[in-house]
Amino acid sequence: MKQLLKGNEAVAEAAIAAGCRCFFGYPITPQNEIPEYMSWRMKEVGGHFVQAESEVSAINMVYGAGGAGARAMTSSSSPGVSLKQEGISYIAGAEVPCVIVNMMRAGPGLGGIQPSQSDYFQATKGGGHGDYRMLVYAPSSVQEAADLTYKAFFRADYYRNPVMILGDGMLGQMMEPAQIPEAVDVNSLPKKSWAAKGNNGGKQRVINSIFMNPDTLEAHNAHLTEKYEEMKKLDTMFEHYRTDDAEVVLVAYGIVARICKAAVDMLRESGIKAGLFRPITLFPFPYGEIAKLSDGAAKTFVSVELSCGQLIEDVKLGLFDSKNRPEVGIFARVGGNVMKPEDVAEYIKSGRITQSWIK
Amino acid sequence: MDKIVFTKPKLLNDTPMHYCPGCTHGIVHRLIAEALEELGDTDHVIGIAPVGCAVFAYNYFTCDMFQAAHGRAPSVATGVKRANPDSTVFVYQGDGDLASIGMAEIVHAATRGENMTVIFINNGIYGMTGGQMAPTTLPGQKTTTSQGGRNPLEHGNPIKICEMLSTLTGPAYIARTSVHDVKAVRNTREAIKKGFRMQREKKGFSLIEILSTCPTNFHMSPVAALEYVKTVGCEAYPLGVYKDVENGF
């Protein structure tokens, strides 16, 4: 049954459906509906909600609960997610599964509270110290926010790795009909023999990320890298929209991809062969699909983003080996501004494709 | 017939400890293991190791353990305890970890009344990093970052954790003990045992601050370091029970 839900509420209820029974948060706009929802909903399902004293503390509670075997989650928005980076690095190093939600707002610093995609680098390139990656899902509708949050818990457990839901203030705040995936039976989830939950005198389980011997740490880094390589093979997700014969390909994720679909339709109506390529996972990024498009009809790629030239770097990486050397441009709004479909269409029609977002 | 009159607690293994000669971490590790064993509470124990000299505490205990980021052990323990409410959770932290970088985490775990037992090692100095000034370093005490001695006008004043946390409503038991002689060690074991018992009885947050030595960075012999804790340490940080809900305060 579909319900009319805010993006933030859909994320929260989908987490419950996926068996999340430990949520730790801290207030920050525009994600407050998630901890608010969890504060009463966890009681109903016999789970735990703690409003932590800081984002730093909340992510460490996730480390504890996740390491002790529970499906655990925290949510925040950009400045708060910066504070979580230390904990995320430890979580990745110690291979603790968990889900982290970032409903992005504009920055840097305290920035603003309006939608943004300016944490792209932080989410996809490591974020905290040391070599690590997270699986990063970028939903573009309330339904997809629910579906990907649900999926995130399973992939987190599979890899024993943090998974990030990278949304934005608009996705978190807007309401759409959405169906929450069917709830799992928490007791039927696979047992985690590695989890530190009391060993009854048996084999000791240690959740840690310290390896003082360089060779041991190098081997650990190699093991982590293998997981990230496996993610590239198994988890890359994307969507094509009217790209078959497209000469101009817009590349956009999240809420911006919705705007770009409308822009593509407008451009098609005025005779321009436009299409949209939407990465659904930002790590792993679907570089191969971009390369394939450049081998076909695509002569121009335009990164449409709410950041000052972040997504475009991965678009260019996707075209690194392209024989056809297509033109690459960017259309961006930042600071909490969001482009209209007409703005994107006009930019393409103008033919003045630029590699800098500043006009 | 030979009779076994003394054994190592089963929560400790045979790994030789890396601690310096005269360091009291080893004594406190043993007291934790003994206290839990005497309570018959060894099956579902989960320990949280800090950043500092005790970062490798999991090498010596046989129970499941976490290694936490600097200062965050009480938050990690909160997550562990919420995920497994029937487990027995102990948090092991030094003064830099608990009273400096982790001040927010310990205060809020205490005020939430989080049902866990915190073992707080206060030796007034950063040991692992080589003897820098700690939040509990005493006025006049020389460290590598207060080389002329801690001057309150320049470096600020030491923090008294038991006194501070006992102003909160949340904690169930807060005590300061020492390990400078046999009597003090026995008192410490009783305090730790009480903390764990109260945790079993779901009475809430307990913290035992233990005045400890760091002969290496005190630049003292082990014996002189113990004497220093007995005299100077205990004068600056009075031993005693600061909060005990079982006794109405």
Looking at the complex, report in whole angstroms how far the Cα of residue B127 sits from the nearest Cα belonging to chain A: 17
Q: Kindly report, residue by residue over B75-108, the tens digit of the pLDDT.
A: 999 999 999 999 999 999 999 999 999 999 999 9
Q: Could you give the percent of chain A with pLDDT greater than 90?
A: 98
Return the half-sphere exposure (C-beta side, CA atoms, 13 A cut-off) of residue A166. Answer: 26
Q: Which of A50, A54, A57 is the closest to B82 by Cβ? A: A50
Task: Verify whether the Cβ–Cβ distance A198 to B63 is below 8 Å.
Answer: yes
Over range A256-283, report the average pLDDT.
98
Per the structure, the complete domain to which residue B227 belongs is given by 25-247
Packing angle between helix A55-67 and helix B103-112, nearest 10 degrees?
70
Asked, for residue B115, whether it belongs to a domain, the answer is yes
Q: What number is the average pLDDT over the span A127-133?
A: 97
In chain B, the residue whose alpha carbon lies closest to the alpha carbon of A57 is B75
Q: Quick check: A36 pLDDT over 80?
A: yes
With cut-offs at 50, 70 and 90, classify the pLDDT of residue B168.
very high
Which one, of A282, A41, A46, lies nearest residue A180 by Cα?
A41
Is residue B30 included in any domain, yes or no? yes
Contact pairs from chain A to chain B, CB under 8 Å: 143
Query: Given a cut of 70, is residue A303 above it in pLDDT?
Result: yes
The runs of H, that is alpha helices, within B39-140 are 73-83, 95-96, 103-112
Give the contacts of A250 (CB within 8 A, at least 6 positions apart). A260, A263, A264, A274, A275, A276, A277, A302, A304, A344, A348
Domain A238-350 has CATH 3.40.630.30: no
pTM above 0.90, yes or no: yes
Strands B88-94 and B117-122: parallel
CA-based nearest distance B79→chain A, Å? 4
Instruction: Tell me the nearest-neighbour CA distance from A203 into chain B, angstroms.
Output: 8
**Contact yes or no for B44 and A198 at CB 8 A:** yes
Please report, for chain A, the start and end positions of each structural domain, with discontinuous segments joined by +: 3-234, 238-350
Q: What percent of chain A has pLDDT over 70?
A: 100
Residue B3 resides in a domain: no
Domain count, chain B: 1
Tell me the chain A residues in contact with residue B48 when contact means C-beta distances shorter than 8 Å.
64
Shared fold status for A3-234 and A238-350: yes
In-domain check, residue B208: yes
Largest CA distance in chain B: 66
Residue B234 forms part of a structural domain = yes
Nearest to B43 among A24, A53, A200 (CB): A200
pLDDT of residue A49: 98
Q: Strand, helix or coil at A269?
A: helix
Select from A42, A48, A54, A61 the residue whose CB has the most chain B CBs within 10 Å, as the one to mutate to test that interface.
A61
∠ Cα A296 A302 A305 (to 5°): 140
pLDDT value at position B59?
A: 97
- Flag whether pLDDT at A359 surpasses 80: no
Residues on chain A touching B61 (C-beta within 8 angstroms): 204
Q: Which of A167, A64, A57 is nearest to A123 (CA)?
A: A167
Residue B120 lies in a domain: yes
Shortest CB distance from B64 goes to which of A21, A205, A210? A205
Establish if B185 belongs to a structural domain. Answer: yes
Helix ranges, B66-178 (H): 73-83, 95-96, 103-112, 152-155, 161-165
Contact A22 B108 (CB under 8 A): no
pLDDT one-digit tens code per residue, A42-60: 999 999 999 999 999 999 9
Domain covering A3-234: architecture: 3-Layer(aba) Sandwich (3.40)
d(CA A202, CA B64): 9
Taking each helix axis as running N to C, give the angle between helix A255-269 and helix A341-350, from 0 to 180 degrees, rounded to the nearest 10. 50
Has residue B52 been placed in a domain?
yes
Q: What is the pLDDT of residue A77?
A: 98
ipTM above 0.90, yes or no: yes
Domain with residue B202: its CATH number is 3.40.50.970
